[in-house]
Structure 1
């Protein structure tokens, strides 16, 4: 919070050590072709804000010339609850599908 903008806050909190890495701009919009792939598994846990959070995997992407897969993941039903993250087994892992009565059921899917 600043005196100039008393109610301002960053749109995304700063990552904590060990958090999933947001895909860099160069990897998402660099020259060359991208391969988009439907996910083999829909639900994942992503390390965000220092804790594991349930996320729905919408799409995988591999950019030409790169060996790094990135995943489009949603972590809630809000307009800012999504992002492209670089896949690493240390920060993104497969999760079982949540029960219908869980909070994920309220995400509007």
Structure 2
């Protein structure tokens, strides 16, 4: 019987090798403010670094608030406005996760492609 620690982790990079994966399209589940999951595959947004979902931050007055949860909630609301989400592959991160530029079905990226949020 094999011990679980001896099993190799399976991820897209190990399956595809150096070949670039196809774009991923589907309804996204929000993991945190810079990571979603589509069809069981986690995708980190290219050029975005948001607080982790359980992270707390201090506001301008020094009061602590759940910035990670709020970041995830804002992303969830943004993505819910137009489904599905399409993510094109950019690179693999240091944890061998798919890093991509993502857009909603209506074409809005809202910064999910590493560019600034639209001003409006």
TM-score (norm: length of structure 1): 0.29
Structure with greater strand share of residues: 1
Structure with higher Rg: it is: 2
Structure with greater helix share of residues: 2
